[in-house]
Chain A
Amino acid sequence: MNAIEAWNLTKTYKGGVRALDGLSFAVDSGTIFALLGPNGAGKSTAVKILTTLSRADGGEARVAGLDVLCDADRVRRAIGVVTQRPGLDPDATGRENLEMQAEIHGLRGARRRERVGELLERLGLRAAADRLAKTYSGGMQRRLDVALGLVHRPKVLFLDEPTTGLDPEARAELWQEIERLAAAEEMSILLTTHYLDEADRLAAELAIVDRGRIVAAGTPDQLKRELQGDTVQVELVEAADGNAAATASRVSGLEEVSVDGRRLRARAANGAAAIPSLITALERNGLAVASATIARPSLDDVYLRHAGRSFQHADTATDREPSEVAA
């Protein structure tokens, strides 16, 4: 059985913003699935609809086998939700937050105490359990949010941009926790992220979302394998123009040339062989080259290929560090 199924979801906000434009995907039970895309691609809207917070204008969705519209209350019992915006109550202590969430899910007495204690321990919040949540650091608040989503041992966990705004250390910790969770409790996880490395590291399968639709889906390796060869990237001294793209396209062995500011990218079966002739051709046309790199295909390239623009361009907020090999 699929943990999540979405068919042709559409949603238009007041003012005509089309957030979802026929979004369809399925998540296998017991796996981590990532929706990857820049801010505004429609990921959060999809999560809102799947978690029964918002309603789609069209399409259908089932979570844990239940229709999100007709069976909303049972869906809510089956899911845990951790959103980008903290859901915790800052004027209550960590323990009080968890106890209320447990009560809502019908856990009482000794079972409630036990579960709350267990989660505080596991997410490293025991020492801070009786402090008001508003005094927590960003990383601690996010961990409390995760704990709130886990209180009732949900079958399906939604993590909407779980590491946005966290420092690298807190991010790494949360990643480990998510991996442990997926392995220990047999949970299906839908992760939305605009960090390529996050999707690459955590997800068994991922779908790239752009402008409210899925443009590509598969395992990270499958998606990367679709792109044979290397990515060649040249940084010019001055902003590239049509001349640069035309010149690069004429170099043999280069395909899919694209230009983005001072950056020129292309694909090559053998990057190391193509770079010298590319540099020569550019300089001969009066285009000074500042640097040149060759990289193995990354999810960024997959995104560029399917969404028609580079990820950084679509989302300036991303802080991805490309793992490039200097030529």
Chain B
Amino acid sequence: MTALRHTREVALRYLRALLRQPTWVGISLVQPVIWLLLFGALFKRTADIPGFAGGSYIEFLTPGVVVMLAVSTAGWVGMGFIDDINRGTMDRLLVSPIWRGALNLGSVAQSVLSIVIQSAIVVGLALLVGARFDGGLAGVAVLVVVAGLLGAVFASLSNGLAVLVRQRESLIGAVTMVTLPLTFLSSALMQESLLPSWIRWIAKFNPVNWAAEAGRSAAGAHADWGLVATRSGFLVLLLLASAAFATRSFNAYQRSI
């Protein structure tokens, strides 16, 4: 109970701070629109490639953009920790009896909420421009949950890294270096059977690909629930590990000061 209450307090704190930045709110609402429409237009002819399995590219792309947004939104979460550490807010929390796990999980919860809202915008927009999701509401819900899981993993990694490096520049470097390549080394934007074989091999170990595969399968006509379950399972395990990493990173920080 205490753990939940503390997590909620931390989440509300970050959420309030974000909502007080209208520019941030505006950008995060417009970003999904730009990505979906831009990538949709750019790669429209992909649907004509021999071997592309049915449907329009926008239908294929939507789960990919949802996953991509989750990674990129979550990657920046650690910036909040760096600000807190630089301002001294983190030190105040660390000498209070707050449940340590709440610091990461509260920040992750705020990030997942943003991802859910962004995902809903992407899916809604895709429906507007004529995409159909045969998986129905349940399938789309699974897609959003999987994107949320992936976001939680990356948010935790970002937080843990932030506490270890404590420098905005280092975190920005790490996030840009990791998120885009991971997106391209997956089936987020391109059907798996059309990927070069070496990318297909790497994608097997790429959490972004796990989320893209699972989300796309659930939202599509013939969901492979075995695949959805295994990929979601991998993501849950990864989330446990990364959340433990983020919470334990405070020990390293406290030893160094």
Contacts and interface: CB of A to CB of B under 8 A. Distances in A.
A55 B255 contact: yes
B222 interface: no
Interface string A68-80: 0000010011010
A88 B88 CA distance: 8
A91 interface: yes
Nearest to A149: B92
A87 B94 CA distance: 11
B119 to A, nearest CB: 26
Interface stretch (B9-17, B55-63, B133-141): B9-17
Contacts of B12: 100
A110 to B, nearest CB: 17
Contacts of B257: 48, 53-54
A104 B95 contact: no
A14 interface: yes
Nearest to A81: B95
Given A53-B254, A103-B9, A104-B96, A91 B20 contact: yes
A73 B87 CA distance: 23
A91 B17 contact: yes
B17 A92 contact: yes
B97 A104 contact: yes
Contact of A96 (B5, B16, B98): B16
A79 B22 CA distance: 38
B41 to A, nearest CB: 38
* Chain A contact residues, majority secondary structure: loop
B6 A104 contact: yes
A34 interface: no
B249 to A, nearest CB: 15
A88 B89 contact: yes
B23 interface: no
Contacts of B9: 100, 103-104
Interface residue range, chain B: 20 to 34
Interface string B78-92: 000000100111011
A106 B20 CA distance: 27
Interface residue range, chain A: 20 to 34
B98 A104 contact: yes
Contacts of B91: 53, 83, 85, 87
Contacts of B92: 81, 83, 87-88, 148
A163 interface: no
Contact of B89 (A48, A51, A87): A87
B197 interface: no
Interface string B1-44: 01001100100110011001000000000000000000000000
Nearest to A73: B97
B164 to A, nearest CB: 14
Contacts of B5: 103
- A-B CB proximity, top 6 nearest: A87-B92, A85-B88, A91-B17, A76-B97, A51-B95, A104-B98
Given A53-B257, A83-B91, A90-B87, 5 more contacts: A55-B254, A73-B97, A83-B92, A91-B20, A96-B16
